[in-house]
Structure 1
Amino acid sequence: MAKTCLITGASSGMGKSTTLHYAANGWLVYAVARSADKLAELAENHENIKPVSLDVTDSVALATWTAALPTGQKFDAVILNAGTCEYVDVDDLDLAAFERTFAVNVQGVVCCTRYLLPLLNKGHHPTLAIVSSMSHFFPFTRAEAYGASKAAVAYFTDSLRVDLADTDINVCLIEPGFIDTPLTRKNDFEMPFLMAPEVAAKRIFDGINAAKSRLRFPRRLSFSLKLLNLLPYTLRNKLAARMRKQ
């Protein structure tokens, strides 16, 4: 029997590539996103991709959908990838931008975890993978909303792993750098070590199959940010401020 996974944010970018990669490797994939049209296009000619049009921040819709699943439906892997990014200006912090960003990046993750965790195929070493970002490793300009939301996701995931330590569920924190997606194409700054989403999808697939608890890629960016964090705090802050002006 084919293994089954569920991937949120599946209609574009890294989520779309990961969905296609899992499907190409024989998995039955529940592809979750808001855009029904994009999901239908994604599932075209792929019998093992099941499109699911859902908003991850809508707890009522998630509860209704999970309750309507066939009796005994279980997932061998759940990948919570849905996310958004909005930059803010310090002179006029946009409260609505913070609310939107945290609604998807944090509350959406918590909401999905609440309703999908019981559906993991316990006894068969399932994986709950949650996508954060390397953005929270270093204070980047205008990233107060995005970086803070991803820091919250990382903490949530690590804490969740502690509370699931007595189960056979593998909790995997995924912290990508810059991935070439419609979201990052809006950036107006240089993105070092930009990675193709297909490459990121393979890293995720291989890492989850190997039961990794943390995935960081590209490695060169991860290494660079780790070095920056070894600097004395005051020096690191000065460097971040200097980078903002470039």
Structure 2
Amino acid sequence: MSATILITGASSGIGRETALYYAQQGWNVYALARSTDKLAELAMQFSDKIVPVSLDLTDMTAMQIWLSTLPVTLNFDVVLLNAGNCEYVDATDLDLAAFERTFAINFQAVVASTKLLLPRLKAGNTLAIVSSMAHFFPFTRSEAYGASKAAVSYFTESLRVDLANTGINVCLIEPGFIDTPLTQKNDFAMPFLMPVAKAAKRIFDGINAGKLRLRFPRRLGYLLRALSLLPYGMRSKLAARMKQS
């Protein structure tokens, strides 16, 4: 019997590529996203493996209704909570609505999805949650995005502690710059930009190996960790200089 994965944010970027990769490996894939058209196009590539599910993950009721239509015996071998978005803000005129939108999808939807999907996991299954390396360093205009990803990383690591006795594997995924429609909007240099297909393989291999945390590209992770060791004042000055360059 084929293994089954549920992936959120599956209509584009990392989610889409990872859904395709898992389907190529023979997995059954429940692909969740808002865009019905993009999901339909995705499912056409593996019609026998990919089940498109059009849902707004910020609508907990809609998720509950959909889950109630599934067989009660269905367990997911892997749940990959990947959906997210990035909005940059202006520090001199903070857009509160941008913060609300960013946290709604990047954090609150992760918490709600975790609550609803945990009953569909059992010992030996994996809950994988996508955060970002963005919270490692104070990047310009990233107050909303970076803060939401910091919240996701802390939530995931704390959750792992509290689920330790359940046998459910909790994997924290913290990508750097990945070549997706989201990053293609950026107007600044993105060091060690990784092709999205390579990121999908890293996720598949890491989850399959039972890793607790995945960070890629590794070179960016090493660089950001080195920067975090700088004296706090020096680190702040460097971040300000990077903004001006």
Query: TM over 0.5, yes or no?
Result: yes
Who is 2:173 aligned against?
Answer: 174
SS in 1 for 2:31: strand
Partner of 1:196: 195
Q: Partners in 1 of 2:150 and 2:6 — Cα distance?
A: 23
The equivalent of 1:114 in structure 2 is 115
What is the one-letter code of the residue matched to 1:68? Answer: T
Correspondence for 2:56: 55
Structure 1 residue 91, shift from structure 2 partner: 1.0
Q: Distance in 1 between matches of 2:32 and 2:181?
A: 17
Distance, in Å, in 1 between the alignment partners of 2:210 and 2:153 is: 18
Distance in 1, matches of 2:104 and 2:72, equals: 30
Task: Find the counterpart in structure 2 of residue 157 from structure 1.
Answer: 156
Q: CA deviation at 1:167?
A: 1.2
**Following TM superposition, by how much is the alpha carbon of 1:180 offset from its aligned partner in structure 2, in angstroms?**
0.5
Partner residue in 1 for 2:8: 8
1:36 aligned residue = 36
Aligned residue pairs total: 244
Aligned residue identity for 1:126: N
The CA distance in 1 between the partners of 2:189 and 2:45, in whole Å, is 37
> Secondary structure of 1:72's partner?
coil
TM-score, length of structure 1 as denominator length: 0.98
Q: Any residues of structure 2 matched to 1:88-107 within 5 Å, and which?
A: 88-107=89-108
Cα shift at 1:176: 0.1
Q: Deviations over 1:98-148 (max 9, x none)?
A: 00000000001011101111101x13x110000000000000000000000
Q: What's the C-alpha RMSD, in Å, of the aligned pairs?
A: 0.6
2:65 maps to: 64
* TM-score (norm. length: structure 2): 0.99
Report the Cα offset of residue 168 of structure 1: 1.0
1:146 aligns with 2:168: no
SS at match of 1:87: coil
Q: CA deviation at 1:13?
A: 0.5
Local SS of the residue matching 1:128: strand
Deviation at 1:45, TM superposition (A): 3.6
Which SS does the other structure have where 1:216 is aligned? strand
For residues 138 and 45 of structure 2, the distance between their equivalents in structure 1, rounded to whole angstroms, comes to 43
Which 5+ residue runs of structure 2 have no aligned equivalent?
none
